[in-house]
Structures are given as C-alpha cells and as structure tokens.
Amino acid sequence: MQGLIGKKIGMTSLFDEDGKNVPCTVLQAGPCVVTQVKTVEKDGYSAVQLGFDEKKEKNTSKPELGHFKKAGTTPKRILIEFTGFDPNSMKPGDMLTAELFKPDNFVDVRGWAKGKGFQGVVKRHGFAGVGGQTHGQHNRLRAPGSLGASSFPSRVLPGMRMAGRTGGQKVMAISLKVMKLIPEENLMIVKGSVPGPKGGYVIITK
C-alpha cells in the first residue's frame, strides 16, 4: 500500500454538491523524504522507508544521525515503512508530497487514540452502573458488580470487563473520502473523523 506520514490539524466542515454540511478533518500529508529503500536481494523484502517532521540533532542518536546522513537529509522525528511503492523508481532523498493523493480518492487513516489513563467500567466499557440505592446500598453507583461465581471456579475468568488503562492504542478509520486537496500547503481534507488529538501523527494510505 502507498501512503504518507502526516499530522492531524483539526476539524472543519464543507458543503457537498447536494448542499449538505459534511464534518471533515484537516490533515497535513507530508512532505515525506525517502530515508531508505529496501530490496528483496539485500533485505529479504521490498519496502520504502519514509521520514517525517524535523528533529533536532542534539535529540538524535549517533546511529540515527548516520542513517539520515547516508540518505542526505536532516533528522526526522518519525519513520514508517510502506510496501506499495516501486523501490526501483525511488532513491534516498526523494520527496513525496500530498499530490500522491487525488480528490475523491478513498484513504485509510491510522492514528493513536487519546489516552484516558486508568478508568472505571462505566467510562471504559459503557456499564450502566448499579442504578437505584435500595436495601441499604451506599456509594455503589458506578461499581462493576459481581465478578464471577464463588466456590466454582473460585477465580475471575479471563476476559472479564473490568477497570483499567483506556485509550492510547492505534486505531484505523477506513475509506475516508478526500473532499479537498491543497497541494501547495500539503493539506488534505477528508470526510469524517480521524483518531488522535490535534497535532497527533497519522499514517495515510490508499
């Protein structure tokens, strides 16, 4: 699959040809630089490694500095491999921009969901809570309730929905329509929502 690394700028809305107000997300798609070309003969598989977003040299390790120097580029903050490009047509140092995509294309966008920290079962799994406070019940409104039987099996079964750390995982929004492209600023506007916060990194593939 071909794609680019980008950033989520924020949300807006556009009117479509039927006059409907469509919620959209603004994404920065690139510019990405080719930092490495992997081939079947040398690496065992074919892929193109892209780098995105500038990074200070003082925050870059010596092996990374050598890697970027070999590609003839400045240090990049994030590196992702894509397998849909033809490695014979690309070389380290080449630039890829938002013009890789066209209006009315459909793209998949991977992002990292907002981390919520340690949350209870009501927020994490949508439990309704205990409900009314009868029979002397006190302060149990958002409690999970029973976790299993007593004498058998005398343990909590795996997969039980309980409180725990929520969010922060990779999420993919599939088949988002490209509503508008602004290639001179490497911006694209896609229909619908995209996971992650404003300024969060995303991987856009077609």
List pLDDT tens digits, range 66-113.
999 999 999 999 999 999 888 888 889 899 999 889 998 999 999 999
- Containing 67, the helix (H) or strand (E) segment is helix 62-71
Q: What is the pTM of this model?
A: 0.83
Low-confidence ranges of the chain (pLDDT < 50): none
Which domains, ranges and CATH numbers included, belong to the chain?
A: 3-116+170-205 (2.40.30.10), 117-148+160-166 (no CATH)
- Closest residue by Cα to residue 192 from 25, 41, 69, 80: 25
- Closest residue by Cα to residue 204 from 184, 178, 179: 178
